[in-house]
Chains A and B, each alone.
Chain A
Amino acid sequence: MDTSQIQTTNVSTVNNRTGLKSRNKVFKVLRTYPMILVGGLMVFTLLLIAIFAPLIATHNPITQYPTGISDIGAPKGPNSEFIFGADSIGRDVFSRVIYGTRVSLEVGIFASLISLFIGVTLGVVSGYFGKWVDMVIMRITDTMLAFPFLLFVIALVAVLKPSITNVFIAIGVLGWAMMTRIVRGEVLKVKELEYVQSAKALGASNFVIIFKEILPNVVAPVIVMGTLLVGQNIMLEAALSFLGIGIQPPTASWGNMLQDGMNTYQIAPWLIYLPGFALLWATLGFNLLGDGLRDWLDPTVGN
């Protein structure tokens, strides 16, 4: 009884100490790798916007306001009612971009998680078991990489019928190849290390070795790759929506807003400014964050 109490108090003081230490460490990391800070803030604002979209948006994103269209039927530019102008059927551009953030992040993050799951699983299996398993998985991976990716996604979305869910499923299910390769490489490196050999000598099962010894040591590149993947997937969703096979109107997505504005951008350039800027912000944010994380977690890899 007594000893256990002593032990718990010991543990808690230790935790407090490490808590303090880790907070200092966070600041130090952010100071040394400003890209993490900048990218992280950019991503964080996006998350806030997505979560609080109904509070930030000034209009309903899919309502067509008669006041948004001029007498001759042209969209109105930025004014006191529509701060970033209205689109060709009178919807508020600002509110649509705000709500589009939700779509972009949803697709970007969920697609990346799917890719991550498939990629890590296949990569670990391939790297750990080697031999013919590795051979088969790597050839499939090569095949996936050989296809023009956008074309592949378009084909799959077309089969699945376009919707937010189907878009991220399609992107996620097809986008795991790079992840698999990276994870496989890391596993190949880690599995020869002596602590893995030692676990084997102790009689640990493959399951235990993979989950307890190997996976914790391949997390870093997975986090980096995952972050970069989110940025890529946001771009990809925009591309699909731009081509008209992604998110379907009236749901707002940066891609279909750009598509809307494409025909009239010479007379109504505000239609593409804000969605274009949002897209730039999102991809830049995730890329900076990913690059920063890579510099921090894996200093051996140059750019």
Chain B
Amino acid sequence: MTEALLQVKNLKKYFPIKKGILQQTVGHVKAVDNVSFTVNKGETIGIVGESGCGKSTTGKTILRLLEPTDGEIIYKNENLASLSASKLKEYRKEMQIVFQDPFSSLNPRYRIGRILERPMEIHNLYTKKERKQKVAEILQKCGMDPSAVNKFPHEFSGGQRQRIGIARALTLNPNLLILDEPVSALDVSIQSQIINLLEDLQDEMDLTYLFISHDLSVVRHISDRILVMYLGQMFEMSETMALFKEPLHPYTRALLSAIPVHNPTEKRERIVLKGDLPSPSNPPGGCVFHTRCPSAMDICKQVKPDWKQAKDGHFVACHLY
């Protein structure tokens, strides 16, 4: 099979809840709880889930923008989770992140040229002249005019800023790009442009994507495999086609049924979940989804379902299977 680029094993990120004058820890928000998956070279993995399910936290923890509480992040036989800051710097070149909000992802005080040269400055790569050249190249690759270097971020539209954000992430020639809701803040027409750009860049630069989004139609379009998360836990993971054709987990089914249909005469069963997302600081026992699950059984309240392979390459955590 294809070569694994990144392996995430039992990743956990707990945020302590502190209370009182002495700031004692009274509990934890389990933002990411026991997440494991493998990313193969060249593929795109989509992570979906509603807001607060820990998909962004997973992305940031993999890059160690947040310190993982537990678990392993294996990249090139090295466990990134336990690397020292100085050693980690070397690997930072190889994995980059693109953020959701193009308006806060560029420092308003600098011209685009400076912003794009900064990554190379940090890693002491190339001479000044080469850097300028690189910046022009990368801007062109991202569909921007190289004259953009003399402008400030506020002179650009959201879509252009997002292109610049992608350009910055690509200046160091990374292997893995974590895309943290890269199109959620953009207009639909711009979304498709950015998605096309990402696809082109993936072919051209041999990139591997971890695409975090709550927009299923976007994820469906770009992903090879999809991971569904809920309250920090993995619910289902499968090839995109298989997942959309036959979602196994009741939560995934509900999610998929919420995608608007293009044809108004087409009738479709709409599964509406009752209640709100439970508090991640006090998740329900057993299966965390049992409070809202349309097909909950007695066992769901008692026992947490195992992560098992229901079909070939189709994993699910549910007692139904």
CB pair B99–A197 under 8 Å, yes or no, is yes
Q: How far is the CA of A213 from the CA of B104 in the complex (A)?
A: 12
CB pair B65–A213 under 8 Å, yes or no, is no
Contacts of A213 in B (CB 8 A): 107
Q: How far is the CA of A286 from the CA of B96 in the complex (A)?
A: 47
Given A198-B99, A201-B92 in contact, is the A208-B122 Cβ separation under 8 Å? yes
Query: Is A203 among interface residues, defined by CB-CB distance under 8 A?
Result: yes
CB pair A201–B107 under 8 Å, yes or no, is no
CB pair A198–B168 under 8 Å, yes or no, is yes
Of all chain B residues, the one with the shortest Cβ separation from A209 is B122
Given A198-B97, A217-B107 in contact, is the A203-B123 Cβ separation under 8 Å? yes
Closest CB in chain A relative to B211 CB, distance in Å? 16
Contacts of A195 in B (CB 8 A): 104-107
Interface string of A174-214 (1 = CB under 8 A from B): 00000000000000000001110111111111001000110
Contacts of A202 in B (CB 8 A): 92, 96, 118-119, 122-123, 168, 172
Task: Count A-B pairs with CB separation below 8 Å.
Answer: 56
Closest CB in chain A relative to B119 CB, distance in Å? 5
Of all chain A residues, the one with the shortest Cβ separation from B93 is A203
Please count how many residues in chain A sit with their CB below 8 Å of the partner chain's CB atoms: 18
Q: How far is the CA of A59 from the CA of B179 in the complex (A)?
A: 73
Q: How large is the interface on B (under 10, 10 to 19, 20 to 34, 35 or more residues)?
A: 20 to 34
Tell which of A195, A213, A216 has the most Cβ of chain B within 10 Å: A195
Closest CB in chain A relative to B100 CB, distance in Å? 8
Q: How far is the CA of A212 from the CA of B105 in the complex (A)?
A: 14
Contacts of A194 in B (CB 8 A): 99-101, 104-105
Query: Is A26 among interface residues, defined by CB-CB distance under 8 A?
Result: no
Query: Is B150 among interface residues, defined by CB-CB distance under 8 A?
Result: yes
Query: Is B288 among interface residues, defined by CB-CB distance under 8 A?
Result: no
Query: Is A14 among interface residues, defined by CB-CB distance under 8 A?
Result: yes
Query: Is B63 among interface residues, defined by CB-CB distance under 8 A?
Result: yes
Query: Is B89 among interface residues, defined by CB-CB distance under 8 A?
Result: yes
Contacts of A204 in B (CB 8 A): 118, 122
Of all chain B residues, the one with the shortest Cβ separation from A213 is B107
Contacts of A212 in B (CB 8 A): 118
CB pair A199–B123 under 8 Å, yes or no, is no
CB pair A217–B88 under 8 Å, yes or no, is no
Contacts of B60 in A (CB 8 A): 197
CB pair B65–A203 under 8 Å, yes or no, is no
Q: How far is the CA of A212 from the CA of B122 in the complex (A)?
A: 11
Closest CB in chain A relative to B142 CB, distance in Å? 15
CB pair A197–B92 under 8 Å, yes or no, is no
Contacts of A216 in B (CB 8 A): 107, 109-110
Of all chain A residues, the one with the shortest Cβ separation from B168 is A198
Query: Is B286 among interface residues, defined by CB-CB distance under 8 A?
Result: no
Q: How far is the CA of A199 from the CA of B99 in the complex (A)?
A: 12
CB under 8 Å from chain A, chain B span 34-71: 60, 63, 65
Instruction: Please tell me which one of the listed residues B89, B93, B105 contacts residue A198 in the complex, with CB atoms under 8 A apart.
Output: B105
Q: How far is the CA of A177 from the CA of B110 in the complex (A)?
A: 30
Of all chain B residues, the one with the shortest Cβ separation from A17 is B150
Of all chain A residues, the one with the shortest Cβ separation from B98 is A198
Closest CB in chain B relative to A9 CB, distance in Å? 13
Query: Is B285 among interface residues, defined by CB-CB distance under 8 A?
Result: no
CB pair A203–B104 under 8 Å, yes or no, is no
Closest CB in chain B relative to A206 CB, distance in Å? 9
Query: Is B108 among interface residues, defined by CB-CB distance under 8 A?
Result: yes
Given A14-B150, A198-B99, A198-B168 in contact, is the A203-B106 Cβ separation under 8 Å? no
CB pair B88–A197 under 8 Å, yes or no, is no
Q: How far is the CA of A200 from the CA of B123 in the complex (A)?
A: 12
Q: How far is the CA of A202 from the CA of B167 in the complex (A)?
A: 13
CB pair B107–A203 under 8 Å, yes or no, is no
Instruction: Please tell me which one of the listed residues B100, B108, B122, B150 contacts residue A203 in the complex, with CB atoms under 8 A apart.
Output: B122
Closest CB in chain B relative to A173 CB, distance in Å? 30
CB pair A203–B88 under 8 Å, yes or no, is yes
Q: How far is the CA of A199 from the CA of B117 in the complex (A)?
A: 12
Contacts of B118 in A (CB 8 A): 199, 202, 204, 212
Q: Could you list 26 examples of A-B contacts with CB < 8 Å?
A: A193-B105, A194-B99, A194-B100, A194-B101, A197-B97, A197-B99, A198-B99, A198-B105, A198-B169, A199-B122, A200-B65, A201-B63, A201-B92, A201-B96, A201-B97, A202-B123, A203-B88, A203-B92, A203-B122, A203-B123, A204-B122, A208-B122, A212-B118, A213-B107, A216-B110, A217-B109
- Given contacts A201-B65, A202-B123, list 12 more A-B pairs with CB under 8 A: A14-B150, A193-B105, A194-B100, A194-B104, A195-B106, A197-B65, A198-B168, A201-B97, A203-B123, A213-B107, A216-B109, A216-B110
Question: Which 6 A-B residue pairings sit nearest by Cβ, starting from the closest?
Answer: A203-B92, A194-B105, A203-B89, A194-B99, A216-B109, A195-B107
